[in-house]
């Protein structure tokens, strides 16, 4: 046997001994880590699957409730939405609350609808965008069923130039002001909408009509 062959065999045996020593020392840890990774992966996949199942169930329940409402079965729709509020998953419980308020308003229960919208707006667990929409929905109901102060208390903060709901908030305030005979205030609000090129076309059209009506009436000083 040549010296090179002998050295190679010695090195090979040394590497084998080192590998065995490392395995004896770290093998159980490596096995435990691999098992843990597998278990965590399974748990994550299972959790995602369970969430998807719950979301799909809630989505189906919400769709069925909307179908009942469309068919004029308001009581059944409200019952289905109430169940979804309590047992739904994800965004569906708050969507059910909002839809329940809408159905209440359509059924003539404006006070109940406003109360529900106010509750959503005050719920810190609900995303701010939905809370703001609830304030706006309550405000539009209060144009006919409340005072300017009632409307203002809900949407005054939404009229800021940076708020995406400012156009609708100003419209609600303008209508409430016009209803209470505050023509000058109403005209200023409607002019804000018509002068804002970023306002939706239909909102600007309504604001333009109201502004023309107010100017034509001579009520604004």
pLDDT band at 187 (very low <50, low <70, confident <90, very high): very high
In a domain, 27, yes or no: yes
In a domain, 116, yes or no: no
pLDDT band at 131 (very low <50, low <70, confident <90, very high): very high
Which residues, other chains included, contact 136 with Cβ-Cβ below 8 Å and sequence gap of 6+?
Answer: 154, 155, 158, 165, 168, 169, 172
In a domain, 126, yes or no: no
Supply the pLDDT for residue 185.
Answer: 93
Supply the pLDDT for residue 60.
Answer: 77
Together in a domain, 163 and 68: no
**Rounded to an integer, what distance in angstroms lies between the CA atom of residue 99 and that of residue 77?**
10
Together in a domain, 169 and 96: no
Give alpha helix (H) positions in the chain.
3-70, 74-87, 92-106, 110-121, 128-145, 148-155, 166-179, 183-195, 201-217
Together in a domain, 74 and 19: yes
Q: What angle do CA 112, 113, 117 make, to 5 degrees?
A: 120
pLDDT digits over 57-105, tens only?
A: 877 777 888 888 888 888 898 888 888 888 877 788 888 899 999 999 9
pLDDT band at 117 (very low <50, low <70, confident <90, very high): very high
Eight-class DSSP state of 146: S
**Rounded to an integer, what distance in angstroms lies between the CA atom of residue 83 and that of residue 91?**
14
Supply the pLDDT for residue 6.
Answer: 47
Together in a domain, 23 and 85: yes
User: Is the model's pTM score more than 0.85?
Assistant: no
Domain assignment of residue 141, given as a range:
132-221
Supply the pLDDT for residue 130.
Answer: 92
Q: How many domains does the chain have?
A: 2
Together in a domain, 69 and 155: no
In a domain, 123, yes or no: no
pLDDT digits over 133-158, tens only?
A: 999 999 999 999 999 999 999 999 99
Which residues, other chains included, contact 42 with Cβ-Cβ below 8 Å and sequence gap of 6+?
Answer: none
Together in a domain, 30 and 77: yes
Three-state DSSP class for 26?
helix
Supply the pLDDT for residue 32.
Answer: 67
Supply the pLDDT for residue 159.
Answer: 94
DSSP 31-51: HHHHHHHHHHHHHHHHHHHHH
Give the mean model confidence (pLDDT) for residues 185-207. 93
What are the b/e assignments for 110-143, b being 16+ CB within 10 Å?
beebbebbbebbeeeebeeebbbbbbbbbbbbbb
pLDDT digits over 9-48, tens only?
A: 545 655 665 656 655 666 677 666 666 676 666 666 665 7
pLDDT digits over 158-178, tens only?
A: 999 999 999 999 999 999 999
């Amino acid at each position: 046997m040549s010296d090179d062959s002998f050295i190679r065999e010695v090195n090979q045996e040394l590497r084998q001994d080192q590998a065995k020593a490392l395995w004896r020392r770290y093998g159980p840890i490596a096995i435990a880590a691999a098992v843990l990774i597998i278990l965590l992966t399974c748990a994550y996949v299972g959790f995602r699957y369970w969430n998807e199942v719950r979301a799909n169930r809630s989505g189906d329940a919400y769709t069925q409730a909307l179908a009942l409402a469309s068919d004029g079965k308001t009581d059944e729709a409200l019952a289905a939405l109430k169940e979804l509020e309590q047992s739904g998953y994800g965004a569906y419980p708050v969507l059910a609350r909002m839809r329940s308020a809408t159905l209440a308003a359509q059924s003539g229960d404006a006070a109940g609808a406003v109360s529900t919208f106010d509750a959503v707006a005050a719920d810190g667990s609900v995303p701010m965008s939905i809370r703001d929409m609830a304030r706006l929905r309550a405000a539009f109901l209060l144009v006919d069923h409340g005072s300017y102060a009632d409307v203002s208390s809900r949407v005054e903060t939404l009229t800021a130039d940076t708020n995406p709901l400012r156009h609708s908030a100003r419209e609600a305030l303008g209508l409430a002001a016009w209803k209470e005979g505050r023509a000058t205030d109403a005209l200023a609000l409607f002019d804000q909408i018509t002068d804002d090129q970023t306002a939706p076309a239909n909102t600007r059209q309504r604001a333009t009509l109201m502004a023309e009506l107010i100017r034509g009436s001579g009520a604004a000083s």
